[in-house]
Amino acid sequence: MSDSWPRRRLLAILRGADEPLDAQELAKITGQHVTTVRFHLDVLTRESLVRQFQQPPRGRGRPRIGYSAVQRSVGYQDLAQVLADQLGADPRHRSEAAIAAGRAWGAKLDIGEHRVQSLEDAKDVTMMLMSELGFAPERDPSSETGDKVLIRLTACPLRELARTHSEVVCGVHLGLLEKVLARGGACDEMDVRLHPFVEPELCVARLELISAAREKTQGAATVPPGGDAEAFTTPSGRVAPQLRNADPNVAKQSAQQW
């Protein structure tokens, strides 16, 4: 696997795409120059991580070259179903077990020396970790305050699994993130949440100082701001009630307003 973050992001985007994408489309999505994108695609092709396809031209001209991620041969969807079944019938119990598994993973992960002494430190570590995992994270400066930051996860490499087994997939990633931040020194200071699918292709990681989070939620039930999914929260390990939203615009507004 290539250790270049731009290539990891391109690969994550291609894995989540429904059809091959060409270099121009990928450049528009990532904000990179098309020449840079073509360079990374050539590397990924040589590494047998993506495959090229000839596509019809737009108007006159030569056929376009589309790229698609090489699909893994392992049946991850079936594996996720088996794991979910083994974790019990109760979604809340499965979530708690998945979070515990993620924490165990985070305890063993080689993350180097990254001290978390402020909210800014926590944001940097989260960006680094999610980049390494292929989530193509993006900061959302417009939503940042002195006690809260949001990080947009734009290319989940396990998106399809998360759609059907969010309590397992998102629970593991949440436990992992919580443990990595705790190893840096933020165990009792940071409230960490993952909001899956606030938009069809977007999840959000929310980091908030615990003192501020308690003031906001004291005496009220915790619910996800939007989207047809649960909001996974730590450090207590609780899982918020599921909120089903019939209006897709509400999720988009929530993603902009958090």
Can you give the three-state secondary structure of 141-199, one letter per residue? HHHCCCCEEEEEECCCCCHHHHHHCHHHHHHHHHHHHHHHHHHHHHCCCEEEEEEEEEE
Contact between 47 and 3 under an 8 Å Cβ cutoff? The reply is no
Q: What are phi and psi of 56, to 5 degrees?
A: -60, 145
Express each pLDDT in 209-238 by its tens digit. 876 555 555 544 433 333 334 454 544 333
Domain span holding position 92: 76-257
Are 60 and 117 in the same domain? Answer: no
More confident residue, 99 or 54: 99
Residue 134 is predicted with a pLDDT of: 81
49, 69, 89: which is the final residue of a domain?
69
Give yes or no for a contact between 223 and 241, defined as CB atoms under 8 angstroms apart. Answer: yes
pLDDT at 79 (0 to 100): 67
Per-residue model confidence (pLDDT) at position 216: 55
What pairs with residue 202 in β-bridges? Answer: 199
pLDDT for 244 beyond 60: no
Asked if residue 20 has a cis previous peptide bond (ω within 30° of 0), the answer is no
Q: Looking at the structure, do residues 136 and 206 belong to the same domain, yes or no?
A: yes
Looking at residue 152, its pLDDT comes to 92
Q: What is the pLDDT of residues 182-211, one digit of tens each?
A: 888 876 678 899 999 998 888 999 999 876
Tokens in use for 62? 């030569």
* Average pLDDT of the chain to the nearest whole number: 76
Q: Of 50, 69, 88, which marks where a domain is finished?
A: 69
Q: What is the CATH number of the domain that holds 216?
A: 3.30.1380
Q: Tell me: pLDDT of 1 over 90.
A: no
Instruction: Classify 123 as helix, strand or coil.
Output: helix
Q: Are 89 and 143 within one domain?
A: yes
Same domain, yes or no, for 91 and 110?
yes
Please tell me the predicted confidence (pLDDT) of residue 143: 82
- Count of domains for the chain: 2
On the CB side of 39, CA atoms within 13 Å amount to 7
The pLDDT value recorded for residue 12 is 82
Contacts with 4 (C-beta within 8 Å, 6 or more apart), sequence order: 40, 43
Residue pLDDT, tens place only, 112-154: 677 888 888 888 889 888 888 888 888 888 888 888 999 999 8
Are residues 122 and 47 part of one domain?
Answer: no
Shared domain for 119 and 60, answered yes or no, is no
The alpha carbons of the chain give a radius of gyration, in whole angstroms, of 19
Is 120 in the same domain as 224? yes
Same domain, 82 and 49: no
Instruction: Give 77-87 pLDDT, tens digit per residue.
Output: 666 667 777 88
Q: Are residue 64 and residue 87 in the same domain, yes or no? A: no
CATH number of the domain enclosing 33: 1.10.10.10
Residue 219 has what pLDDT? 47
